Copies of this chain bind each other. A is one copy, B any other.
Amino acid sequence: MRSTERDTAGQVAEAGVSAPPDSVLGRVALLLSAFDDRSPRLGVSELARRTGLAKSTVHRLTGEMEAYRLLAREGTEYRLGGWLFELGELVPTTRTLAEAAQPIMEDLREATQQRVHLAVREGTDVVYVSIMGGTAMGLMSRVGGRLPAHATGVGKVMLAYSSRAVIQEQVAAGLPQLTPRTIGTAQELELELRRIRSIGMSLEAGESHEGIACVAAPVFGANRRIIAGLSLTGFAGKIDPVTLGPAVRTAAFMLSRTLREQGI
């Protein structure tokens, strides 16, 4: 699964200038996005290679970034710095959402013995905000990881309760195929979203990763607008919508109510 997760470099490339980002901020962003799951520690030369920046530029920038704890040195290499973790925890909604969801997710995991996912939408991707249920079932989703919304259970259920503009944006992004079963056309998506609205949850089987299935339900905020998606995920054989569906839906309702009470 890891291999199909979008890395942030791709995100940044999408976000704007790609080849030579002619601004300091662009270069800094490029440097930050050079780090990922598989390469958490990088040297100056490697960073220069990945970003296309001059080695001297990288050297100076990394030095300055270290001063602000955006990066940290370990020997002669750099890793992402502690300030990023602290800032990440200050990002509104994600933190409060994860906190409010924690007990509910624990109960849901306990009751179903499946992996529980909480995700929000960021543009055309979903971002996992909290995950419960060990890494026993292999690499897989990661907190902070991204996946195209139309290819995941949580993503589809969030799209189903989103505005038309959001769905059009999703279609415009091209509906990339993660597996042969990924939804590929606007018509298919439209149909699927209608089906989801009619049953109040979304099902997914092998649309994001071969052999993995998922049941997801929508989480609403104070204003009745969709905020997040809650899902149970596991190997295709283990996920039975008939038994698990009501469980996720109940948990999602409970979370929605909690959020409403807290004014989130």
Residues of A within 8 A of B (CB): 8, 11-12, 15-16, 23-26, 28-29, 32, 35-37, 40-41, 61, 64-65, 67-70, 79-92, 94-95, 99, 102-103, 106, 122, 127, 129, 132, 134-135, 142-146
Contacts and interface: CB of A to CB of B under 8 A. Distances in A.
**Identical chains bound together, number:** 2
Contacts of A32: 87
A64 B142 contact: no
A143 B79 CA distance: 21
Contact of A134 (B64, B79, B103, B122): B103
Contacts of A145: 86, 89
B127 A82 contact: yes
A81 B81 CA distance: 17
A69 B15 contact: yes
Contacts of A29: 68, 70
A23 B146 CA distance: 32
A99 B135 CA distance: 9
A61 B92 contact: no
